[in-house]
Every structure is written in C-alpha cells, then in structure tokens.
Structure 1
C-alpha cells in the first residue's frame, strides 16, 4: 500500500515509518526541510519537503506521491514544556490540527485518496465529570487545553465526517519523547501539585506506531483511544518516572502556588485530569502492546 505520512520526521513518525516499511508498504514521508531527508531515507521512506500550512505545498506533495492512505502526524511541539502559556506553546500545532487537516483532506479528495488517519490526543483531557477513566463515548474536556481543545474538536469532526480514523494518543514516552520532562525532574522543577490525584494515560511510541499501522491496514473508521492499560494519578507516575531516571523524588507544592508559578493547565492536569480506556482499540484492532503499563516502559526506557 502507498502510505503518505505527513510529519514523518517527528517523534512518532520516526517510529511509524520503519514499521510500515517492514510490513511491505511504500512510504512517502514529509519534513519541513531537507535537513531530515537522510534520516527518512535510512528509515526506508521517500522524503519530501512539505509545509502543512501551505495548501499549494500540501496539494503538490500529495499529488506527486499518489498515496492510497494519508496519515496525519503533523505537530510543532518542541522545546521546554510551557504549560503556563499553553496556547502560545501550542499555537502552530493548533493550526496544523485545523488548517493543516483541512489542506490534507482537500488534497486527499482531489487525488482520490481512499483513507485518512489522523493524530489526536487523550492523556488527561477527558471530561472532568464522573469516573477517572473515559472511553470514546465520553466527550473530551472543552476547556482543559485552551485553544487546543477547539483544534482537536475540529480535527476529529472533519476526519470522522470524511470516513477516516482519529487516533487519540496518550502522552508519548520512548526515544526522545520525555527528555524535557526528565530534565525538569532532575532539576526538581516538576513537582506533584496538590494531592496529585489527576489521572494521565501514557503510550510508548512503538505501541502508538503499531496501533497506527493497524488503523492503516484495517482502514479503520471512527475514534480510538491509543493508550496503555494503566491510567494513573500523577502522585504515582511522576515519582516513579523520577526514580527510573535516577532523579530525586519530586517536590510537592500546593495548588495555589502551582497556579501562580505554572498556570491553570498544570493544576488541572495534576489534580483533575481524566485518563482513558484502550478497550475499543484492543478489541477492534487486535492490538497487542509491547508495554502494557508505563511502569514497565519507564523502567526500561529511562534507566
């Protein structure tokens, strides 16, 4: 199958491309510059420069590749996390999830691409009502990640309407994915806020990639939570991450102080976040995780 991976040079793309190639697919992978062409070629992809916010660039890249499936993995998340200024930190990613998604869908329609798979997010942003673990039937929280919530809602609505698959990935860990968090932990700048009762869902990059391959091959439709088996509160996973990384236990700070220093989003994540269930993806994809729990994954990846 000819697969077009938009954002193929990103953290997940670099794990996804070789899995697709290993299963016999012909992959075209995009990057915003030629600097990563060598990496993409080593992974087995045909590299192409594409600006996901430029409709002409997107149209030309898709027309040249003539794919059967487009996989939308475009984000612009890099550098030190800035939860206090979340909308500013995620501004370009929000545009890629709105404008970029629209450009890719338009190119797909113009070139007769029969299937579309897109990246969404499901770590701690479930609706803050009821239990701590949410399914695909539960709405995402409309306020938890500022303008990002509206961007995700747009992406999910247009992709599902087009008959595609939305993959709500949990928080990534794996090669390069948690370096910034670990650095903050080692500097003791990543505390547990309040009671740390807010839940997160995690997923290893390789498990996220394997679920994506299945969504491509099965031509999945609808929304799927791509997370591990163990949603957990911050008071459990954060000290464990620190221990696995050889850092001192994280400090604890009261809610009022965290709100002043880190902003509302950090407080919400740590104290009210809702995790997610992966039962639907496991059932419909036959998905088997290499790391069913972040406990095993953190231990192996961060040691």
Structure 2
C-alpha cells in the first residue's frame, strides 16, 4: 500500500517507517524541517516537509502522495520541541501536542476526504489515564479520565477530540501506553538515576507500558487490516508504581527510588504526578491481541526495561 506517515521522524515514526518498508509498503513520511529528509531516506521513505498545523501544507502533501492510508503520529513532546518533561505544568509541556491532536488531526482528515483516502490511523494514549474508579485495569469500553481541574485536562480534552473525530471518520485509534525504547527510554531513566523520580504515597497507581517496536508492529497490523475503532496498544502487565519504578532503577544501576508522601509530593511534583502514582489506571490489550493478531516482542516491561538498559 501507499502509506502516508505524518510524523515520520518522531521516536515512534522512526521505528514504524522501517517496519512498513520491510513489509513492502511504499511510504511517504513527513518531517517539520528539511534537515531530517536524509534520515527519512535512510529509513526507506520518501520524505516531505509538512507543517501539520498549516491546512494548506497538509493538503498539498497528502494530495501529492495519494496514499491508501494516513497514519497520524505527530506529537511535540521531545526536549527539542517542548523542553524537559514537566508533569507539574503539563498544560504548557503538551501545548503544541494538544494542537497537533486537534487542529492537525482535523487538517489531516480534511485532506483525506478531499483526496479520497479510504483509511486513517491515529495515535492516542493509554498509559495511566483510565477512569479513576473501579478496578485498576481498563478496556476500550471504559472511558478515559479527563483529569478535570488539573494541568492534564487540556491534553485529555485533545485526546477526546482526536478519538471522536477519527471514530466518526471510521478510522482506527491506537491508544499507546507509556512508550519506551530507543530515543524514549532516556527521558524515563535520567530522573530515576538522579533519584528525582520517587514512589509517591503507596505507589498503587497503575501504568501500562509498551516498547516502541511493539507499538510500531501493532500499527502495521492496523494499517494492513484496515482496522476500525479503538485499540489499547499496551503490554501484558499493567503495574503499580511500587513495582515498576524500583525495577527500572535496578535495571538502570541506580539506587532504589525514594518514597515521598502524597502531601509532600503535591506542591513539588504537582497534582497530576500524584494522581498517576496513587490512582492511575492501566489498560488491557486483549482486544488488540484478539482482533489484530498482535504478538509482542516484549510482553512485559520487565523484559523490555532489562533489554534496553543491558
């Protein structure tokens, strides 16, 4: 197929493009600047410079590529685009990503309609943001938590917009868990090594992880099978912070994380970080495995963390 990957030079795009190429697809992938066109060529794609927030730029790029499917992987949460990770001010940290999940999604869908692209696949998120009631593990039938009144709320609203409009277009929404792997693990490990990533409260809040290569392989399946609807793309083991965080520190050769009461962490790290650590809900991947036939290289973060940090 002719596959148009919007955001081909992101950490996930760089793992996705080669998998698509290896399976015989013709890939056009976008970047925001000409400096990375060489990278896309090395990955096997035809590179194009595109501004996802500029409707004319998106329209021209999609019309020229004439794809069979558009894969929306545009975010702006890297240090280059958004500065250091900052959950305390998540509204500022995710400001551009929120626009990419709203305005850029609308631009891509409009271009798809104008060009007659029959299928659309978009990136969403399912790490710790399941509804904070009931059990610790959520399915696609459970709503996401909007985290109203917190700096996470604008991001959750943007995710809801993306999922709504892609759903109405009969596309596939892939809710990736907390991504780790080449280009993504360092952001997770650096504060752990500096003992700046404590277990808050009892650390009972759950998180779902997924390795970049596993997220990419699920995306390839969604493309090839013209999947529709919501899919949680996470590993087999949603886990509480009091399990995964000490294990990550051990794999990284770091001292065990400190433990901080929630009342002390709230003014220091912010209410979102406290909610993730104490109330976060993970996700089930049963639907993706059943309907897409997805198998994981790293069924658990235990294997993946160890492999990445060996």
TM-score, scaled relative to structure 1? 0.99
Counterpart selection for 2:128 from 124, 129, 150: 124
Which residue is 2:184 aligned to?
177
Which residue is 1:46 aligned to?
46
In 2, the alpha carbon distance for the partners of 1:183 and 1:150 equals 29
Counterpart selection for 2:252 from 220, 242, 245: 245
The Cα of 1:36 is off from its aligned counterpart by: 1.1
The Cα of 1:246 is off from its aligned counterpart by: 1.0
In 1, the alpha carbon distance for the partners of 2:156 and 2:264 equals 25
Whether the aligned pair in 2 keeps the contact of 1:58 and 1:107 (CA below 8 Å) is: yes
Which residue is 2:98 aligned to?
94
Does 1:217 find its partner at 2:224? yes
In 1, the alpha carbon distance for the partners of 2:33 and 2:222 equals 28
The Cα of 1:180 is off from its aligned counterpart by: 1.7
The Cα of 1:146 is off from its aligned counterpart by: 1.5
Which residue is 2:280 aligned to?
273
Please give the per-residue CA displacement for 1:8-40, whole angstroms capped at 9, x wherever unaligned: 000000000000000000000000001111111
Please give the per-residue CA displacement for 1:95-151, whole angstroms capped at 9, x wherever unaligned: 000000000000000000000000000000000000000000000001172200100
Whether the aligned pair in 2 keeps the contact of 1:77 and 1:89 (CA below 8 Å) is: yes
Which residue is 2:162 aligned to?
155
Correspondence list, 1:30-41, <5 A? 30-41=30-41
In 2, the alpha carbon distance for the partners of 1:278 and 1:129 equals 19
Please give the per-residue CA displacement for 1:190-223, whole angstroms capped at 9, x wherever unaligned: 1110000000000000000000000000000000
Which residue is 2:113 aligned to?
109
The Cα of 1:73 is off from its aligned counterpart by: 0.2
The Cα of 1:6 is off from its aligned counterpart by: 0.1
Provide structure 2 residue ranges, at least 5 long, that are not aligned to the other structure: none
In 1, the alpha carbon distance for the partners of 2:40 and 2:306 equals 29
In 1, the alpha carbon distance for the partners of 2:276 and 2:270 equals 11
The Cα of 1:69 is off from its aligned counterpart by: 0.2
Q: Which stretches of structure 1, 4 residues or longer, exceed 4 Å deviation after superposition?
A: none
In 2, the alpha carbon distance for the partners of 1:246 and 1:37 equals 37
In 1, the alpha carbon distance for the partners of 2:52 and 2:264 equals 39
Which residue is 2:195 aligned to?
188
Which residue is 2:300 aligned to?
293
Which residue is 1:25 aligned to?
25
The SS at the match of 1:179 is helix
Does 1:69 find its partner at 2:69? yes
In 2, the alpha carbon distance for the partners of 1:3 and 1:245 equals 37
The SS at the match of 1:175 is coil
The Cα of 1:62 is off from its aligned counterpart by: 0.5
In 2, the alpha carbon distance for the partners of 1:180 and 1:174 equals 10
Stretch of structure 1 that moved more, 273-282 or 36-45: 36-45
TM-score, scaled relative to structure 2? 0.97
The SS at the match of 1:219 is coil
The Cα of 1:233 is off from its aligned counterpart by: 0.2
Provide structure 1 residue ranges, at least 5 long, that are not aligned to the other structure: none
The SS at the match of 1:35 is helix
